Amino acid sequence: MRPSKRDELVRKALTVFYRDGFHATGMDTLVQETGISKTTMFKHFRTKEELILAVLRLRDENFRNWLMRRIADLSPSPAGQLIAVFDALEEWFAEPDFRGCLFIKAAGEYPEEGHPIHAQSAEHKRLLKKGLEAIARAAGAADPNLLARQLLILKEGAIVAAHMGFDPDPAGAAKSAAKGLLAQALGSCATSERSDELHAERKPGCQPLCGDPA
Amino acid sequence: MRPSKRDELVRKALTVFYRDGFHATGMDTLVQETGISKTTMFKHFRTKEELILAVLRLRDENFRNWLMRRIADLSPSPAGQLIAVFDALEEWFAEPDFRGCLFIKAAGEYPEEGHPIHAQSAEHKRLLKKGLEAIARAAGAADPNLLARQLLILKEGAIVAAHMGFDPDPAGAAKSAAKGLLAQALGSCATSERSDELHAERKPGCQPLCGDPA
DNA sequence: TTATAAGTGGACAGATCTGTACAGTTTGTC
DNA sequence: GACAAACTGTACAGATCTGTCCACTTATAA
């Protein structure tokens, strides 16, 4: 259990930053909320920015793993998985501690393109697009790149809508839009892909995203 | 010119908050950037939060006016206007000072649902939805509410994509998706609504959104 | 001219910010 | 037991935060 304190810090800092924001969270707050001394924090991370970058790395890994596993559990076919993205989102939105997307927040608080935090947040989205594009290609989409970009735009929009609460069912609205896009991209042959009738149970190891890791 | 200093403060504070963020911008920075004394600021607004709320009110008015006028200039028909939303977005994204959506930023920095800044940001989106829904109804959409929600989700997603730079043409991707939704919502009769061939010039009084108002 | 309102500049209070310093304590390993 | 590494608690520096105070200047208008 060598690097446990460091990991524990990153895990707990994630929940605090996610809950309260980056600038709004001071290092003293983190000391109080994590129970880890400030000395130790600054031994593992030379600056607050380095800690934030580590938090973003952890979140990137957690989120992409969670999403990909979840949609694989929800549907066996690539086309069904693309739609299942929005079922997974719906589950996420329903979590009590849901507060939007950490990377959108980070990009908002560090808005300069060249800032490491901004750049790393953008990289997360690029990796997501890559993942969706691979699935779109496997599904036989006419233009996998375009379809992936459109689905990602729907996903980001649904997250914003869910966080700001201006849509009663953002995942549902995005899902129905995605179905139309998919039907169009796959040609008229597979219009009514029935991907959502099997609502797979969460498999063990596939935990909710917002839960307190304490 | 009675309330000019107050308006000038709100206008200039808008550009600074939009450029740097809310928590990252201190009142002393605003003094420096606006040339208005701190005493005057706190005479017009009792707290920083009140100033932010005034900034958001101004932005809400500016943005909604700009968008509605722009799409009316771009297309005479309601259906065309719904598509023209994404042409307007493209113009916005191309502005040199574009840095995403101020309301998404605000909701990110003040993430509690009940916080006045969060609530007012959400209200802006609700008003946008209402506007789009009216146009969708005028266009004869089967379900104007759903169509408006889907278009708004596409819009928010495109803004996030543009700000984070993970899509080479977010407005274009969203626009093509919107065309599909619209064709579906209007029935098969008006599939190829040619809304974008007339690229209306900016009319006077319809200025870009990010320009320094100084 | 004179009364009123609005704006200025700078010092200040008290809190909080990031990051450092240091002496002491726990923990794991030989 | 002994050594090294990791961790703790607290105090601190220096900057910055929101908001106040006060004496002074400028503009407006009767």
Provide the CA B2 to C1' C4 distance, Å, integer: 14
Question: Which pLDDT score is estimated for A2?
Answer: 53
The whole-angstrom distance between B1's CA and the closest CA on chain A is 35
Residues from chain B contacting residue A99 (CB–CB below 8 Å): 111
Whether residues B179 and B73 fall in one domain: yes
Whether residues B89 and B134 fall in one domain: yes
Question: Which pLDDT score is estimated for B207?
Answer: 53
What string of H, E and C letters represents the secondary structure of chain A?
Answer: CCCHHHHHHHHHHHHHHHHHCCCCCCHHHHHHHHCCCHHHHHHHCCCHHHHHHHHHHHHHHHHHHHHHHHHHHHCCCHHHHHHHHHHHHHHHHHCCCCCCCHHHHHHHHCCCCCCHHHHHHHHHHHHHHHHHHHHHHHCCCCCHHHHHHHHHHHHHHHHHHHHHCCCCCHHHHHHHHHHHHHHHHCCHHHCCCCCCCCCCCCCCCCCCCCCCCC
In B, minimum Cα distance to A146 occurs at B173
Domain containing B28 equals 1-46
CB pairs < 8 Å spanning A and B: 158
Q: Quick check: is A125 in a domain?
A: yes
Question: Which pLDDT score is estimated for A208?
Answer: 54
Q: Quick check: is A108 in a domain?
A: yes
* pLDDT single digits (tens) A22-66: 999 999 999 999 999 999 999 999 999 999 999 999 999 999 999
* Closest C1' nucleotide to B24's CA: D17
Strand C: which residues have Cβ below 7 Å from it?
A 1, 25-29, 38-39, 42, 46-49; B 2, 4-6, 35-40, 43-44
Q: Cα-flanking dihedrals φ and ψ of residue A26, to 5°?
A: -90, 165
Question: Which pLDDT score is estimated for A4?
Answer: 83
Q: Quick check: is B107 in a domain?
A: yes
In B, minimum Cα distance to A113 occurs at B164
**Average pLDDT in chain A:** 90
Whether residues B30 and B66 fall in one domain: no
* pLDDT single digits (tens) B36-45: 999 999 999 9
**Is B23:A23 a contact under the CB 8 Å cutoff?**
yes
Contact assignment for B177 to A176 by CB distance below 8 Å: no
The beta-carbon neighbor of B108 closest among A104, A126, A146 is A104
The whole-angstrom distance between B55's CA and the closest CA on chain A is 17
**Per-residue CA distances from B92 to B63, B152, B174, B204, B210 (Å):** 10, 16, 14, 16, 8
Whether residues B127 and B22 fall in one domain: no
Provide the CA B46 to C1' C14 distance, Å, integer: 18
* Average pLDDT rounded to a whole number, residues A189-209: 45
Whether residues B68 and B36 fall in one domain: no
Give CA B190 to chain center in angstroms.
28
pLDDT at A200 over 60: no
**Which residue ranges of chain B lie beneath pLDDT 70?**
1-3, 188-214
The CATH number of the domain holding residue B120 is: 1.10.357.10
Whether residues B115 and B37 fall in one domain: no
Residues from chain B contacting residue A164 (CB–CB below 8 Å): 103-104, 107, 118, 121-122, 125
Whether residues B107 and B178 fall in one domain: yes
Whether residues B165 and B104 fall in one domain: yes
Contact assignment for A155 to B156 by CB distance below 8 Å: no
C-alpha B60/C-alpha B44 separation (Å) is 20
Question: Which pLDDT score is estimated for A67?
Answer: 98
Q: Quick check: is B11 in a domain?
A: yes
C-alpha A127/C-alpha B85 separation (Å) is 28
The CATH number of the domain holding residue B35 is: 1.10.10.60
Provide the CA A45 to C1' C13 distance, Å, integer: 33
pLDDT at A18 over 80: yes
Q: What 3-state class would DSSP assign to B177?
A: helix
Q: Quick check: is B133 in a domain?
A: yes
* pLDDT single digits (tens) A142-191: 999 999 999 999 999 999 999 999 999 999 999 999 999 999 998 754 44
* pLDDT single digits (tens) A100-116: 999 999 999 999 999 99
Question: Which pLDDT score is estimated for B99?
Answer: 98
Contact assignment for A150 to B174 by CB distance below 8 Å: yes
Provide the CA B51 to C1' C16 distance, Å, integer: 21
C-alpha B182/C-alpha B184 separation (Å) is 5
Position A3 confidence tier, pLDDT thresholds 50, 70, 90: low
Q: Quick check: is B55 in a domain?
A: no
Query: What is the per-residue burial (b if ≥16 Cβ within 10 Å, else e) of A2-31?
Result: eeebbeebbbbbbbbbbbbbbbbbeeeebe
Whether residues B16 and B91 fall in one domain: no
Q: Quick check: is A3 in a domain?
A: no
CA terminus-to-terminus distance, chain B: 17
Whether residues B26 and B128 fall in one domain: no
Question: Which pLDDT score is estimated for A37?
Answer: 97
Q: Quick check: is A206 in a domain?
A: no
Q: How many domains does chain A have?
A: 1
